[in-house]
Amino acid sequence: MAIITEEEEDQQQLKQPLKETTKSPKAQKPTSSPKPSSKSSESSTSNPFTFWFYFTIGASLITLVFISLSSLSSQDPKSWFLSLPNSLRQHFAKGRNIKVQPHPNQSPIEVFSIEQGPVASENIVLVHGFGLSSYSFREVLRSLGNKGVHAVAIDLPGNGFSEKSVKVDREGTNGVLGRFWDVYSEIEEKGFFWAFDQLIETGQIPYEEIESRIAQRKVAKPIELGPQEIGKVLGQVIETLGLAPVHLVLHDSALGMTANWILENSKSVRSITLIDTSPKSLGALPLCVLKFPVLREIMFGFSFAHSWLIKSCCSRGFGALDLEAHRVLMKSKDAKAATVGMGKKFNYSFDIAEWGGSDELKGVPVKVLWSGSWSKEWSEEGNRVANALPRATFVTHSGGRWPQEDAADELAESIVQFVSSLPASVRKVEEEPIPEHIQKMFDEAEKNGHHNHHHHHHHHHHGDAGRDHHHDGHVHGHAGYMDAYGLGQGHAW
């Protein structure tokens, strides 16, 4: 038995080193594995390049999508005008253009105006709100004209058919972002395929050529006017057309934009009608929709998105054709930029109670027309406005926050009742010299044998016959404005 145990012990001792030798290769594996470590180091060094590759591809795709969305609205003026619906063209054909100068050190700009009704009657001037134009008031104008009053609506600068931009010297750009913006502007102007052709032909974007070309040209800067400038525009339109004293109809944000001018020129204001005008907000159309580029392009680039926006925030009674007309007018890049600029300069600290209680307005009748069916919150806002203007007459209507679209006849009837309840306006008659450039035209016509009766009769009656002259020669026919769209051949008087 003892012999057996000794042999077993010897065998066990012999097996143990064998097991150790068989296990040793496994233990040595970590030391003999340089290849996997080299692979991991290679992958770690290649990761940054992979990240930047995908980042560049992603940024390029986002840029292409943004440029594609922008191209939906970045038409040249001629193409934009020719693409207008018939309703907008007809509206344009009925109006005229007036030169105004909001800034004394800058060139005049043209403002579109349209009028209806007999010129010898009471003068009513309608001023639209944020994101709108005179086209929105076309049915109100028609109804007012049929009721025997003279109604005038204007497109504020940057809106509708008024000028939306001015030519200024281009400021130099520096840095990577500046060069990127230069290239983006060039691609936006010439098209994506131009950039693609440049890449195929030369393998790069011609930065130097773009920079030299951009430095030599003037750029179109969107018109951005604040309440002070808007007041000047309104005053110059009234003066040029000889409308004073006027019955002002202010919609949406128009009160905040013209309140200071009204106080300074209260003698030229016969009455004031406020339509859904809240001093606490810019207007029914949300400014944030226009401020963010991608959201802006979606909301005004697609009909269904635009329809949802307008019917949710402004008016539920918009027809499909009218919605499309509004979308087309807002699709212009400069129109949206000008509207955003106007929103930035809006007087958000305007106090309607202080304004309404000022001494200048004590003799000016005020009427408030407010939507009674839009929402509970909006009705409460109307009550606050009514309490802030205790001398004003408060009346509700059945339309939305843009009631000129779904309650035009109701608005016109209420406005006419208010104006008719007041004593007739008294206008003074002035004799003015014929402007020099008009006199030259008369002289040339006389030499050619075409006698013009205006040469002998140049008494200007502000508000009556004199309105046919439009003194100072600031009123232009459509040839001058069509020239801005590349369709005309000069100015017509």
Global pTM?
0.70
Answer for the pair 476, 97: CB distance below 8 angstroms, yes or no. yes
**Average pLDDT, rounded, for the chain:** 76
CATH 3.40.50.1000 corresponds to the domain 76-165+224-420 = no
Please give the sequence-ordered ranges of beta strands (E in DSSP) within 227-282, or none if there are none: 246-251, 269-275
**CA 243 – CA 113 distance, rounded (Å):** 13
Q: Is 444 exposed, middle or buried (0-12, 13-18, 19+ CB in 10 A)?
A: exposed
b (16+ CB within 10 A) / e for 258-273? bbbbbbebbebbbbbb
pLDDT at 267: 93
Which tokens belong to 331? 């699709």
The identity of residue 50, as a single letter, is: T
pLDDT at 447: 63
CA-to-CA dists, residue 86 to 75, 82, 89, 139, 271, angstroms: 18, 10, 5, 16, 35
**CA 158 – CA 341 distance, rounded (Å):** 9
Helix (H) or strand (E) holding 196: helix 192-202
126 backbone dihedrals φ, ψ, rounded to 5°: -100, 130
DSSP state of 253: T
**CA 136 – CA 142 distance, rounded (Å):** 12
Alpha carbon 249 to its chain centroid, in Å, reads 21
Q: What are the residues facing 416 on neighbouring strands?
A: none
Which parts of the chain sit beneath pLDDT 50?
1-10, 14-15, 17-33, 36-45, 72-73, 431, 437, 450-473, 479-481, 486-493
Helix (H) or strand (E) holding 154: strand 150-154
